Structure 1
Amino acid sequence: MNAKYDDIGVNYNATRKADDYLVKRLLANLNPKSYGLYLDIGCGTGNYTIKLQENGFNFIGVDPSTEMLEKAKLNNPNIDWKLGQAEYLNLNSESIDGIIGSLTIHHWKDLEKGFKELHRVLKNDSNLVIFTSTPKQMTGYWLNHYFPKMMKDSMLQMPALKAIKKIIKQTGFRSIKTELYNIKPDLKDLFLYSGKHNPILYLNPKVRHGISSFSSLANAKEVETGMIQLKDDIATRKINDIIKSYENDLGDYLFIIAKK
Structure 2
Amino acid sequence: MRLMDGLQRRPQCWLYSTVGRMALYDDIGRSYAAFRRPDQRIAAAIEAALGDATSVVNIGAGTGSYEPLGRTVIAVEPSEVMIRQRPPAAAPCRQGSAEALPLETASVDAAMAVLSAHHWTDLERGLSEMARVARKRAVLLTWVPDAAPFWLTEDYFPEIAAHDRKIFPSAAALSAMLERMIGPVHMAPVPIPHDCTDGLLCAYWRRPES
TM-score normalised by length of structure 1: 0.69
1:76 Cα deviation after fit: 2.5
Matched, 1:99 2:119: no
Q: Is the 8 A contact 1:60 1:80 kept in 2?
A: yes
Q: Return the offset for 1:78.
A: 5.8
Secondary structure in 1 matching 2:209: helix
State the 1:119 CA deviation.
0.6
| Secondary structure at 1:199 match in 2 | coil
Contact 1:9 1:45 in 2 (8 A): no
- Could you tell me which runs of 5 or more consecutive residues in structure 1 were left unpaired when the two chains were aligned: 202-260
CA deviations on 1:161-199 (whole Å, 9 max, x unpaired) are 11111211221x222011112210221111120101111
Larger RCO: Structure 1 or Structure 2 (Cα < 8 Å, ≥ 6 residues apart)? 2
| Deviation at residue 77 of structure 1 after TM alignment | 5.1
1:128 aligns with 2:138: yes
Q: Is the 8 A contact 1:187 1:194 kept in 2?
A: yes
1:47 aligns with 2:40: no
Q: Partner of 1:58 in structure 2?
A: 72
Query: Which residue, out of 13, 19, 22, partners 2:42?
Result: 22
1:80 is aligned to 2:92: yes
CA distance in 1, matches of 2:164, 2:93: 28
Query: What is the CA–CA distance in structure 1 between the aligned matches of 2:90 and 2:157, rounded to whole Å?
Result: 41
Runs of 4+ off more than 3 Å: none
Number of the residue aligned with 1:239: none
1:89 aligns with 101
Q: By percentage of residues, which structure has more helix?
A: 1
Residue 64 of structure 1 deviates from its aligned partner by 1.1
Where in structure 2 are the equivalents of 1:1-260 lying within 5 Å?
2=23, 4-33=24-53, 36-49=54-67, 52=68, 55-72=69-86, 75-76=87-88, 79-123=91-135, 126-137=136-147, 140-143=149-152, 144-171=154-181, 173-201=182-210
What RMSD over aligned residues (CA atoms) do the two structures have, in Å?
1.4
SS of residue in 2 equivalent to 1:116: helix
Question: Secondary structure at the residue paired with 1:200?
Answer: coil
Q: CA deviation at 1:63?
A: 1.1
